[in-house]
Amino acid sequence: MFTKFRAPEIKMTDSSLMREDVNTEGTERIHQREHRVKLSRPASLRALCGKRFSIYCVFLLLAGPAARGQRTLDYDNVVVPQTRIDARGLGYPPLDVIPAGESAITALAVAPNGNLYGATSGKRSHLFVLNPRHGYVQPLGYLPGTTAVTNALVVSASGDIYIGSATTGHLLKYSPSGEEERPIRIQDPVAVSDLGVPVAGEGISALVIAPTGIYGLTSPNAHMFTLSIEAKRFTDLGVVATKIPPGEKFETQKVFSRMLAVDTRGTVYASGEDGFIYGYFLGSKEIGRLRLQLPVVPGREPWTRADTFLTDSSGLLYGGTSDGYLFRFDPEKMTVTNLGKPLPQYRITGMAWGPNGKI
């Protein structure tokens, strides 16, 4: 930041004064040496230098000796500028507005036909759909016995919606049929099928769908599970975190990714303990820990996790961490590349591909 200010009284003793003035005629260099100079107001500086000028001050935040040597300067590189985003409501209040305290959107997924499905969390969890052709949200009703759905909503190739309850641990299935012809339903329950609980005593914190089935993470004990859609059978694949990281009293939960990712070969990935990447490979009986860690501020490995994942058509995975780093994971080369920080802040809670190939 550059700040223009009035020059205060300056007292210099036995010092050299050198100044560069830039004007339309070129550059003039003035060297003056005085044993004692006293300047009491801006006019004195103009009298001393003989020309009009402005003084600008640059404020720099310099790292102390303890901060140097931990990581290079480009490790925290901010890669995009902050911009303004305008948003508008996609409904017609009060007819189709999900009540306050029940309307926080915590899961979204796009169906093969282009419809956008979402779930909310709060006093009750609601399911809704946005048809891009007419451009407004249509509430489908509340999910019975469920108050939270967090990154646990996926759509199959057939159009069925699978929803994981973070509170009860039940996996629910919703089959769309004639939605546009039905009246708006806010106070009515959604007609869903209960597929059961993948891991007893655990809530479902994330879901992803792959050609071989549905995969999920549970909370609080970080189990990865799979559901064979055809066989309707759950399989517990193991855990990605076994211990709660050290810290203050608020450190009461194991740290693992808030989302799952699947590559073009059907391998499913999550982040787990100490920021390591875990993977479930087809044909394996359980998940394994890779020798790869997420980008992290040195010393914060036990508390870092992947907030979000995104897969491109070439099979590369992109992700955002709880420390705010954007990274690229190449499953073929088994490498993780730190792409810097999009913004100078913590967390990257969501990503999507734009029509121009940008994230």
pLDDT for 355 = 82
The reply to whether 223 falls in a domain is no
Distance between CA atoms of residues 146 and 309, nearest Å: 25
pLDDT for 282 = 87
Please give the tally of structural domains in the chain.
1
Distance between CA atoms of residues 142 and 120, nearest Å: 9
Distance between CA atoms of residues 101 and 123, nearest Å: 6
Residue 175 in contact with residue 162, Cβ under 8 Å? Answer: no
Residue 6 in contact with residue 42, Cβ under 8 Å? Answer: yes
The reply to whether 211 falls in a domain is no
CA-based nearest residue to 109, from 94, 128, 96, 126:
128
Cis peptide, bond prior to residue 220, ω within 30 of zero:
yes
pLDDT for 179 = 80
The reply to whether 137 falls in a domain is no
The reply to whether 44 falls in a domain is yes
The reply to whether 42 falls in a domain is yes
Which helix (H) or strand (E) element contains residue 46? helix 42-49
User: Cα-atom radius of gyration of the chain, to the nearest Å?
Assistant: 29
pLDDT for 112 = 94
The reply to whether 93 falls in a domain is no
The reply to whether 10 falls in a domain is yes
Distance between CA atoms of residues 203 and 91, nearest Å: 31
DSSP 183: P
Distance between CA atoms of residues 20 and 315, nearest Å: 55
Distance between CA atoms of residues 49 and 230, nearest Å: 86
Which helix (H) or strand (E) element contains residue 3? strand 2-4
DSSP 149-177: --S-EEE-TT--EEEE-TTT--EEEE---
Domain ranges, residue 18 = 2-64
Q: What is the pLDDT along the chain (359 residues), one digit of tens a residue?
A: 444 444 444 444 443 333 334 343 444 443 443 444 343 444 444 444 444 444 444 333 344 444 434 555 555 566 656 566 666 676 667 667 899 999 999 999 999 999 999 999 999 999 999 988 888 888 999 999 999 999 999 999 999 999 999 999 999 999 998 887 777 888 999 999 999 999 999 999 999 999 889 999 999 999 999 998 888 899 999 999 999 998 866 678 999 999 999 999 999 999 999 999 999 998 888 999 999 999 998 999 999 999 999 999 889 999 999 999 999 999 999 999 999 998 888 999 999 988 888 89
The reply to whether 56 falls in a domain is yes
Q: By three-state DSSP, how is residue 245 classified?
A: coil
pLDDT for 114 = 93
Residue 167 in contact with residue 147, Cβ under 8 Å? Answer: yes
What is the number of other CB atoms lying within 10 angstroms of the CB of residue 82? 9
Distance between CA atoms of residues 74 and 280, nearest Å: 32
What is the distance, to the nearest Å, from the Cα of residue 162 to the centroid of all Cα atoms in its chain?
23
pLDDT for 88 = 63
